[in-house]
Structure formats: C-alpha cells, structure tokens
Chains A and B, each alone.
Chain A
Amino acid sequence: MIKRIVFVSFIGIVIILLTVELSAYYFSLDRLVVPSSVGASNLNELIRKNRTFTKGIAGLSPKGAYIVIDTARNLIFLKKGNRTILRALISSGSGNILRDPSGKGQWIFDTPRGEFEVKGKIAGPKWIKPDWAFIEEGEDIPKDWEDRVEEGVLGDYALAFGNGYFIHGTLYKRLLGRNVTHGCIRVGDEDLGTIYRLSRLGTRIYIF
C-alpha cells in the first residue's frame, strides 16, 4: 500500500514537472513572423542608417594607443585598435577598508573603474604619504610635509590618471597578479617603462 502511494506520488510529481516544463517551453516559443513586403527605398535607408551608426561607434573609440586594466585577472594591456602591444601582470586595489580612529570617516581601497586619461607623466616619482598610510601603520601623522616624502617605492615612472591614482612601479614584484594595493596600479619595471614610453597626456585608460 505504502509502496503504491509513493510510486503514484512520484508519477504525479513527474507529470506536474513535465507539464510545467512543456508549458514554459511553449510559452517561450517564438511566434511565426511574416515580414511585410517593403520597397527598395526602405532597404537603402536602412543601409544608410547602418553605416551612420557603425561610423558613429567607430568614431568614439580611441585613436592611437590606449590602456586596458583588468582588475579581476590583474592584467594590463597596452593596445592600438584591436592589436595588443603589451600584456603584463599588475597589482590593483585590495578593496579593504581602513577606518579613521578619530571617527571622521573611512578609506576604501578600490581601484576606480571606468574611462580615464593620462593626466601626468612623472619620471623618478616620490611618494607623498597620505594620512591613511600613517594610520595603517599605527604611526602619528607628521606635521611637516617633508616627513611624508618617501623615495624609491614608486619605481622609475608614474602615470597619473586623476584623483590621486597612479600607474607606477613597485618594490613588491612577487605580489604582481594580486589585489594588494590601496587603489593605484602597480606594474613591473620593464613593462612600466614600455607603457610610459608609448603613452602621452590624454592616452585613454579603461579600467574594469
């Protein structure tokens, strides 16, 4: 008796699931469409619009070299059109949070995403340590500006792309490929040299 009930219940569930599946399949079927007959002038108009849109999109893409940064895989690409000139490992933002002990706010160490452009090129950059760098290390924030300057940590070159973010070198080459920075992009020396050399002010940077 119990076996029969279980078996019938099982059949019932299967039938219900099959019905649901068939219904979903039927409801999502494309309907028959009979395109209306139209003249050649409409076709020409459509072709003209197609060319306009295609040209419009092509006109928006960067002319010359541009930089693409993939923060998921920690890769940087230097490209021109569809051609990749350089591909290299980077380190990007950790996404970690640092709270200001004074309670004034917090810092979130994300690499910003979107479209940017090279706003500055610096050879031999020096790091002017911001407040969070002292807070993170449990140190007091210095009153003198000169006490913030640290040399040699940003590598040979830096490319600024706005709001205090840079593409720069690094001492921590074994961390390339990992999300460890405070938002900036760290690149190995040799690759950074190539990027610095082939970029100019206004070179577009796409970060995702």
Chain B
Amino acid sequence: MKKTNLQFTFPLFLFLILFPLGGFSQAVAGGDSIGQKIRALKDENCLLEAELALASKGTSYIILDLRTESDSVPVRINLKNRGIVLREFDVDRMRYRRTKGLVIEPIPLIKKMAFFHPKRREIKPHKAEDGADTISQLDFLELKDIPSNYTFSFGRGLLISITGQPKSLIPRFVHLISSILIHIRYSLTIVWNHLWKNEFAIIEIIMGKEEAQALYWSLEEGMNIVVMERHPYDIT
C-alpha cells in the first residue's frame, strides 16, 4: 500500500475544513429597511424598558450593549444607577456565543467564580506603643489582592468570563495558553447545552488587568445585568 504523505495531506485537510468557515460567517440580511428599523426600535425599547425597571429601584445595575462592537466604538461594560453611568469598564476584545438568543431583561448575578477569592483580614486588638509607626503595620484588602481572571455566573445560563491581560511577556504567554484552554472548555459547554436544549450564553472578555480587578471589586452578587445582543441582520 502506498504510504500517505501526511505532511502534505494534513495541511490540505485542515484547509478544506477551515475554508468553509468563511462562508459560515456571512449571513444574509432579510426583510425591508423599514422592517429593520422597526425591529431595531423594538429591541431598543426592550432595553430601555428593562433599564427603567432597574433604574427605578435605586440599586446599581450593569448594561452590556454588544451593538456598539466595532473598531471605532468598542464595547464597554457600564455600571449604572438611576440611569447615570457610575463607571465604564473598557473591553479590549470580546467573543459572544450562545445556544439561544438572550432575552432582553434583567438577569441577576448569582456567583463570582475565581480560583482564589480575596480573604478578609482579621484585626488583632493591640495597644499602640509610644512612637511606634502604626501606619506601616496596616494590613488591608487592596485592588492587587483581587483576582483578574474569573467568571461571573448569571441566571438564565449566562456566563461572562473575564480575563485580565498582563503586560509583561511571560505572563502574557501563560495567559494565552490558559485562554485557549478556557475557550475549548466553553466550546464543549456550548455543544453540550445545545444537545440538551439548555439556554446557555458565554461572553468571553479580555480587558486590562487592573480593569478586570476593578470590575470584580465593583460588581456584587445580586446585581442585575441587561445584555443587548447584536441583532442577526446587523451581521455583514
């Protein structure tokens, strides 16, 4: 039997698999332009209605509007209260996948999941010695103690995975490997949830390390998020 030249056929095999992906990324817009405007307005109204309900409560909430995703207008995570923006968190890169479209309504943050959770320190009562520098003895939670890689688990099967990208070379390489592994894990989860017809959505976000730490610090369990997807006919 003739030996197969794997060094030649394997790249060709990969090419034949990956090339059709370019076709999958093209979706044809349907319907007339008035219909598109009406659909956009309906979605906008859903978002505003959800935000009005949250703003009326006086508790902080999050708006993640994926419609703004483009090179010139990056996606931002907005922390808001009573309709005013308290803080905008910049997103460097983002990937959004889901089994079914997300309903435009408030979804509560159920759990913050990280390998290492920041721990509170316990104060040991002691008399301050005369002339002692008590300030240098202070021990308290700081932003650098906060994890920069973690996942927010919301209701309705929504996960937001945050990866804080370090600046130096070796941590960036380690971060790249862990990002690939996380990505594969979520791909498997998408397939699994699709097969079992479960509602599931994963938003993978890469941002600066300090932004990621500040985001973990600022969001509390119980806080609501409203995610506005890019509508199908926006895809070009």
Contacts and interface: CB of A to CB of B under 8 A. Distances in A.
A38 B56 CA distance: 32
Given A43-B34, A72-B214, A18 B17 contact: yes
A198 interface: no
A206 B60 contact: yes
Interface string B151-162: 000000000000
A208 B218 contact: yes
Interface in B1-58: 6, 10, 14, 17, 21, 24, 27-28, 30-32, 34-39, 41-42, 44-45, 48-49, 51-52, 55-56, 58
A201 interface: no
Contact of A206 (B81, B217, B232): B81
Given A35-B35, A72-B218, A180-B138, A62 B143 contact: no
Contacts of B122: 96-99
A115 B82 contact: yes
A99 B21 CA distance: 60
Nearest to B188: A20
B233 interface: yes
Given A28-B97, A96-B140, A113-B60, A42 B27 contact: no
Interface residues of A, number: 68
B167 interface: no
Interface in A180-208: 180, 204, 206, 208
Contacts of A175: 135, 138
A172 B79 CA distance: 30
Residue in A26, A32, A35, A56 with the greatest tally of chain B CB atoms within 10 Å: A35
B44 to A, nearest CB: 6
Contacts, number: 195
Contact of A33 (B31, B79, B187): B31
B103 interface: no
B45 to A, nearest CB: 5
Contact of B86 (A18, A46, A137, A206): A206
Given A25-B21, A58-B83, A180-B138, A38 B51 contact: no
A62 B82 contact: yes
A49 B213 contact: no
Interface in A17-72: 17-18, 20-38, 42-43, 46-47, 49-50, 53-54, 56-58, 60-62, 66, 68, 70-72
A34 B30 CA distance: 5
Nearest to B189: A24
A30 B232 contact: yes
Given A32-B27, A71-B217, A53 B38 contact: no
B36 A35 contact: yes
B69 interface: no
B87 interface: yes
9 contacts: A28-B99, A29-B27, A35-B35, A53-B48, A61-B84, A62-B84, A113-B60, A115-B82, A138-B127
Interface of B: 6, 10, 14, 17, 21, 24, 27-28, 30-32, 34-39, 41-42, 44-45, 48-49, 51-52, 55-56, 58-60, 79, 81-84, 86-87, 97-99, 101, 120-123, 125-128, 135, 138-143, 184, 186-188, 190-191, 194, 213-214, 217-218, 220, 231-233, 235
Interface of A: 7, 11, 17-18, 20-38, 42-43, 46-47, 49-50, 53-54, 56-58, 60-62, 66, 68, 70-73, 94-99, 101, 108, 113-115, 135-139, 172, 174-175, 178-180, 204, 206, 208
